[in-house]
Chains A and B, each alone.
Chain A
Amino acid sequence: MSREAPPILRLQDVSLTFRTRAGAVRALNGASLAVHEGEAIGLVGESGSGKSTLARAVLGLNPERSSRIEAGRILIAGRDVTRLSQAEWEGARGHPVAMVFQDPLSFLNPIMRIGRQIAESIERHAPDRRVEERVGELLALVKLPPSLARAYPHELSGGMRQRALLAVALACEPRLLIADEPTTALDVTTQAEILALLRDLREQLGMAMLLITHDLGIVSSACERLYVIYAGRVLEWGRSQDVFGAPAHPYTVGLFQAARADRDAQGRFATIGGEPPDLGETAKGCPFAPRCPSAMAECIQSMPGVTVVGEAGSHAVRCWLYPPAQDAAATAGHVFGS
């Protein structure tokens, strides 16, 4: 993996707010991450943590009139796309970054044939290719029979629809595929099939992947590195094996306990107490502090800097439980992988 080339995707301290009737909501609060060519990255968080907002921000898909990137930068293959207008975005989506969404039925046009929906991507991004032939190739790539080109979405099963949606994204010939909860709407067997397919495709096409999920099991099997996001802030990140081996942030620890179905002293399932915070409040401190079993006085007052944990320097956390590093900025840069 070459570290000279700019990462295919990089977010630097991105803050994004939504304007709502009830006031401004800060969906992303200084979120940073980097995805390098060919890498598989997991972005983990519970509902409302801002992970889908982050994914959509990368393609300029958040509603133009009600959302705004207040601070930070988004770079795609080194190109700053933070302030693109909608017209400029039209020329920038699909390649090099394409996206598949959560619910494959509602995200496919119900009255357009599958083949046509794939062909639109081809015509947009590879106009010199013979479209029909290429549609067949792409269907084969996602292991669907060529006859499905003439089918409508409602005629397909959930797993087939997710494959079709994947073919639509792959037709853009992306170098990075963002998969926003691609298996959440599917049953367990189909989930495994789709994940295996994603892994094969990534190897076959040498494409990077940003996998957004609330399911830690998926991340452990599919991703090399992961970021844990909470209330629009990235709280912990690192190589999957390091984070899984020794989760540092109390939130991550709680997630793992919940995922492993640990029991507490009374024999009840371990859960993270409390509710995700109301993003309308602009809290100064760590957003997890109100729910954190180890919260201290400083947690409420300010957000801690970045601390590298573990030996390899490939695992970092933002938490007052870990003494801040001397040169936080440099360390952060190292860990983000620039």
Chain B
Amino acid sequence: MRRFLLARLGWAVPVILAILIVNFLIIHIVPGDPIQALVGDFPAPPGYADQVRHEFGLDQPVLTQLGLYLLNLAKGQLGFSFANRQPVLGLILERAQFTLLLMLPALVAAALLGIVMALAAAPRAGSLYDSGLTALSLVGFSLPIFWLGQLLVIVFAIKLHLLPAQGMFSLRTRLTGWSYGLDVLWHLVLPMFAVTIYYVAIVARVARASVLDALSQDFVLTAKAKGLSSRHVLWRHVLPNALIPVVTVIGYNFGYSLTGAILVETVFAWPGLGNLFITSIGNRDYPVLQGIFLLTALAVVIANVATDLLYAALDPRVRATRFRHA
């Protein structure tokens, strides 16, 4: 397992290097003066252009610039956002927290719900419950998430006045401690619901197919022939074997969850990374966009590595063979 881990991490290194280089090149692809592009639509203070030129070494050869860029990254310097008047790294990390607060519980809930629904449906394939689940997940999967979000706002916030329509906290009061936490939770309900519905549909579809496939495997017959209960067979034999494709889908979505929430965050004015991304495009705030690209790319790589490690944990055959010939 340790060798597998090292091998997998070893493969991630060149990918991350490539990401860094592409991200570095973005600023050279941006049309117009890079200094103005870096500053955005704000008047550059006198002397700032020289400072930037010096900091980024823009008069030097590209390779030296790349070296400087990597050096700055290593020091945690991703630039400064004039639109937000703070360093990019701090800004992005702060917003990423809010996105994770929304996406992590939603994805975990969707994964668990989707798997449980599939486990209930697959053994009764073709039944009313199973067909209903398939139809519902198709609908859930096809619903535009921004439309669903707006519908939720109209029904639960505007008509029923049950839940807040927008934002992450109540603006009229300054809350602290527990009441602050509860207030955030209160604002979290609708956007999280919208995200969860979408991902439940995805997970349930994949999980149903893979549970169905596992159920038809020969070893299920052996397990039954031993006299095990169908519940035991389902949870101990079918589920672990069915999880591998499901883990792929969930892992993939975790990777994109940082920016995957763009639409939901826009509809619900959730101050996460997706929201920051949209505003930064409007402001042509390139340092922030660059930072978000970098973070997202890293998140995808990390999620993929984590998915592979989960494979290995789930399936001994992966541990044995995956990287033997690589």
Contacts and interface: CB of A to CB of B under 8 A. Distances in A.
Contacts of A155: 320
Contact of A120 (B126, B223, B240): B223
Nearest to B218: A106
B226 interface: yes
Contact of A106 (B126, B217, B237): B217
B241 A110 contact: yes
B227 A90 contact: yes
B224 A111 contact: no
Interface stretch (A92-100, A235-243, A296-304): A92-100
Interface in A88-137: 90-95, 98-99, 101, 103, 106-112, 117, 120-121, 124-125
A267 B109 CA distance: 71
Contact of A154 (B219, B226, B236, B320): B320
A101 B218 contact: yes
| Interface of A, helix, strand, loop or mixed by DSSP | loop
A99 B219 CA distance: 12
A282 interface: no
B317 A110 contact: yes
A154 B224 contact: no
Contacts of A154: 316-317, 320
A309 interface: no
Contact of A107 (B221, B232, B314, B320): B221
Given A109-B237, A110-B315, A111-B315, A124 B228 contact: yes
A124 B317 contact: no
A152 B316 CA distance: 7
A97 to B, nearest CB: 9
A172 B217 CA distance: 22
B222 A112 contact: no
A90 B223 CA distance: 11
Interface size class of B (residues with CB under 8 A): 20 to 34
B230 interface: yes
A248 interface: no
Classify the interface of chain B: helix, strand, loop or mixed. helix
B220 to A, nearest CB: 9
Which of A103, A111, A155 counts the most chain B CB atoms within 10 A?
A: A111
A92 B226 CA distance: 9
Contacts of B241: 109-111
B229 interface: yes
Contacts of A152: 316-317
Contacts of B225: 59, 61, 93-94, 98-99, 101, 169
Contacts of A35: none
Contacts of A124: 226-228
Interface string A56-100: 100101000100000000000000000000100011111100110
A121 B226 contact: yes
> Which bracket fits the contact residues of A?
35 or more
Nearest to A93: B227
Interface string A145-172: 0000000101100000000010011011
Contacts, number: 84
A92 B320 contact: no
Contacts of B226: 93-94, 98, 120-121, 124, 168-169, 171-172
Contact of A168 (B126, B217, B222, B315): B222
Contact of A103 (B218, B232, B237): B218
A86 B219 contact: no
Contacts of A93: 224-227
Contacts of B236: 112, 120
Contacts of A165: 222
Contacts of B219: 106-110
Contacts of A103: 218
A108 B230 CA distance: 17
B218 A111 contact: no
Contacts of B314: 111
A19 to B, nearest CB: 12
B238 to A, nearest CB: 10
Contacts of A117: 222
Nearest to B320: A154
Interface in B159-196: none
B221 A101 contact: yes
B317 A111 contact: yes
Contacts of A109: 219, 222-223, 237, 241
A103 B217 CA distance: 12
A99 B314 CA distance: 28
B230 A90 contact: yes
Nearest to A125: B227
Which residue of B221, B222, B223, B315 has the most chain A CB atoms within 10 A of its CB atom? B222
A86 B230 contact: yes
Contacts of A125: 227
Interface in B31-87: none
Nearest to B216: A63
B314 to A, nearest CB: 7
Given A101-B218, A125-B227, A168-B222, 11 more contacts: A61-B221, A90-B228, A93-B226, A98-B225, A108-B222, A109-B219, A110-B316, A111-B315, A124-B226, A124-B228, A155-B320
24 contacts: A59-B224, A59-B225, A86-B230, A91-B227, A93-B226, A93-B227, A94-B227, A98-B225, A101-B222, A106-B217, A107-B221, A110-B317, A111-B241, A112-B236, A112-B237, A112-B240, A120-B223, A120-B226, A120-B232, A121-B226, A125-B227, A154-B320, A168-B222, A171-B226
Interface of B: 126, 217-219, 221-230, 232, 236-237, 240-241, 314-317, 320
Shortest 9 CB-CB contacts between residues of A and residues of B: A94-B227, A106-B218, A93-B227, A109-B219, A152-B316, A107-B218, A99-B225, A121-B226, A107-B222
